[in-house]
């Protein structure tokens, strides 16, 4: 499978919609409730790698404190009340079959890049025995630097599949 490594031009700016402001305001409420995410259902082998990854994840990413989403699971983690969300053991994205799909390398870990119209980018590891997905908020639309915080934990806990 061939991946093109393209980076969007830095000058491209995404205009936030009114819905984003409503969602941002809801996320900043003082209710104390964490964002909710769908917990993956990986194979037992992948779940084992994910459990080890969960223990190795950093307490801060891009200056944001860890605040795991609900429900509590070793398969999910979060930082900044949903600004960065990690899910381990997700299904292989269909986009990986597209030879024109974009990929990035962040400190030795390869990630499939999926730009989403309604939210920030989604990244999924490639060539690993468990797929790790990281979604970033719109403030990271053109910034992959948060991925480097996951490079060492992923490399140490989720073996290559090649």
Q: What is the pLDDT of residue 21?
A: 29
pLDDT at 15 over 80: no
Mean pLDDT of 43-52: 97
| pLDDT band with cut points at 50, 70 and 90 for residue 124 | very high
The torsion angles phi and psi of 20, rounded to 5 degrees, stand at -65, -40
H helix and E strand count, the chain: 3, 8
Element (DSSP H or E) covering residue 77: strand 76-79
pLDDT at 79 over 50: yes
pLDDT at 17 over 70: no
Percent of all residues in the chain with a pLDDT value above 70, rounded to a whole number: 79
Percent of all residues in the chain with a pLDDT value above 90, rounded to a whole number: 67
Lowest mean pLDDT among 3-7, 35-39, 56-60, 142-146: 3-7
Q: Which residue has the tokens 């073996």?
A: 159
| pLDDT band with cut points at 50, 70 and 90 for residue 34 | low
Residues 27, 33: Cα–Cα separation, whole Å: 9
Mean pLDDT estimate for the chain: 82
Q: Are strands 64-65 and 109-114 parallel, antiparallel or unpaired?
A: unpaired
Residues 69, 71: Cα–Cα separation, whole Å: 6
Q: Is the dihedral of CA 132, 138, 144, 147 positive or negative?
A: negative
Evaluate if pTM is beyond 0.75: yes
Q: What is the pLDDT of residue 22?
A: 28
Q: Which residue has the tokens 């700016």?
A: 13
């Amino acid at each position: 499978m061939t991946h093109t490594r393209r980076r969007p031009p830095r000058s491209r700016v995404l205009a936030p919609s009114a819905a984003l402001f409503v969602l941002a305001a809801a996320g900043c409420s003082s209710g104390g409730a964490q964002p909710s995410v769908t917990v993956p259902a990986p194979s037992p082998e992948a779940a084992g790698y994910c459990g080890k990854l969960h223990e190795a994840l950093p307490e801060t990413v891009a200056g944001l404190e860890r605040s795991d989403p609900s429900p509590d699971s070793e398969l999910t983690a979060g930082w900044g009340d949903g600004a960065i969300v990690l899910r381990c053991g997700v299904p292989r994205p269909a986009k990986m079959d597209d030879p024109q799909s974009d990929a990035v390398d962040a400190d030795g870990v390869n990630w499939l890049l999926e730009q989403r119209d309604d939210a920030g980018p989604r990244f999924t590891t490639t060539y690993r025995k468990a797929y790790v997905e990281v979604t970033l908020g719109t403030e990271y639309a053109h910034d992959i630097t948060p991925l480097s915080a996951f490079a060492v934990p992923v490399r140490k806990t989720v073996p290559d599949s090649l």
